[in-house]
């Protein structure tokens, strides 16, 4: 960590497109799309994350209501989760105007651990009624009930996870390990994060 600078960390966040303001939901609100799997928690500092959000994201969300689409698909605690204290410190830095404009959080592919965490710590960590704005979405198809599908990009691995759930529905409840599929076709090694292709369905 010491060999990296806050500036280089912010450049990495930008390159990976972890946070992207893109599209609108069915109520016409702008969307902040967040892809949890893209966040390299073991590399990027919390300070760099705060600065990036403060300079690149928050100024674009201060003027009118918006919604968040958080993609939790394939998130690994050891690789993508910055820690409870880090999350709280980032949340505390969100300007009041941005908090007030946030009207909905669509949480795609929540696992059992994520649900339990939010049900216990979420109510304590997040003030301003944020927990009450949370909407769990178990399938991509259900997301389109709330979001305009032609205006937002969803990574291919998210659709692949949906297919896994059709074959192994217990994964919805965290009762089955999310190992590579062994049916149908041979396993393909994932490409690096920046190389994930996107599907934008019209």
Question: Do the beta carbons of residue 25 and residue 33 sit within 8 Å?
Answer: no
Mean pLDDT of 72-92: 87
Number of helices and strands (H, E) in the chain?
9, 7
Q: Which residue has the higher pLDDT, 169 or 124?
A: 124
pLDDT of residue 198: 40
Q: What band does 87 get if pLDDT is binned at 50, 70 and 90?
A: confident
Quick: pLDDT tens for 100-121: 999 999 999 988 888 888 887 7
Give the model's pLDDT for residue 168. 67
pTM metric for this prediction: 0.79
For residues 102 and 73, is the Cβ–Cβ distance under 8 A?
A: no
Please name each of the domains of the chain with its CATH number. Answer: 1-173 (3.40.525.10)
> Which residue in 39, 103, 44 sits closest to 71, CA to CA?
39
Residue range 58-72: mean pLDDT, rounded? 95
Phi and psi torsions of 152, nearest 5°: -135, 140
**Cβ atoms within 10 Å of 202's Cβ, excluding its own:** 5
User: How far apart (Å, rounded) are the C-alpha atoms in residues 155 and 170?
Assistant: 23
């Amino acid at each position: 960590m010491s060999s990296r600078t806050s500036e280089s960390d912010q450049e990495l966040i930008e390159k990976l497109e972890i946070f992207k303001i893109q599209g609108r939901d069915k109520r016409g609100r702008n969307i902040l799309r967040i892809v949890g799997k893209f966040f390299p928690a073991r590399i990027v500092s919390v300070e760099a994350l705060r600065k990036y959000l403060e300079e690149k994201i928050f100024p674009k969300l201060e003027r009118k209501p918006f919604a968040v689409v958080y993609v939790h698909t394939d998130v690994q605690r050891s690789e993508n989760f910055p820690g409870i204290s880090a999350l709280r410190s980032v949340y505390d830095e969100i300007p009041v105007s941005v908090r007030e404009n946030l009207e909905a959080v669509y949480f795609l592919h929540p696992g059992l651990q994520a649900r339990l965490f939010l049900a216990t710590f979420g109510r304590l960590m997040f003030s301003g009624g944020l927990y009450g704005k949370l909407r769990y979405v178990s399938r991509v198809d259900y997301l389109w009930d709330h979001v305009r599908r032609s205006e937002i990009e969803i990574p291919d691995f998210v659709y692949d996870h949906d297919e896994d759930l059709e074959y192994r529905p217990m994964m919805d409840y965290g009762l089955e390990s999310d190992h590579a599929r062994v049916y149908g076709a041979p396993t393909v090694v994932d490409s690096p994060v920046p190389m994930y292709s996107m599907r934008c369905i019209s």
